[in-house]
Amino acid sequence: MNDPLTLADALADLNSAEDFLEYFDIPYDPGVVQVNRLHILQRFHDYLSRQAAELPDDEEAARAVYRSWLARAYQDFVASDALTEKVFSVFHHVARADGGSTSFVPLDKVLQQ
């Protein structure tokens, strides 16, 4: 890809899941993205966060890594759904001492994401 912008500059200009998928030239089903856009972007962010220390300095190599993780994040939701993937803390149910379960997320945990 011969993008005149740096990867950081290009990423700063992207606003939606569709923008990211189009920028990285990843074919997608609009129906899958419409239902899962926030989940896809959060999963992409999670994948990149785990790899941040190992990202290459070379722009083209970094773009390839970003593309592969975005493609994987998108595919996670082609093959599954948001309830199964549990990207966001609100989907994690915890047993309560008095029985039942809760998906309560304390504010301090929300701010960590």
Alpha carbon distance 9, 76 (integer Å):
27
- Ranges in the chain, pLDDT < 70: 1-3, 80-113
Which pLDDT score is estimated for 84? Answer: 57
Q: How many CB atoms lie within 10 A of CB 50?
A: 10
Concatenated DSSP letters of 16-70:
SHHHHHHHTT----HHHHHHHHHHHHHHHHHHHHHHGGG--SSHHHHHHHHHHHH
Which pLDDT score is estimated for 86? Answer: 56
Which pLDDT score is estimated for 3? Answer: 62
- In the block, residue with structure tokens 């890594």: 65
Distances (CA, A) of 98 to 9, 89, 102: 51, 21, 11
Stated pTM of the model: 0.71
Which pLDDT score is estimated for 38? Answer: 86
Which pLDDT score is estimated for 19? Answer: 96
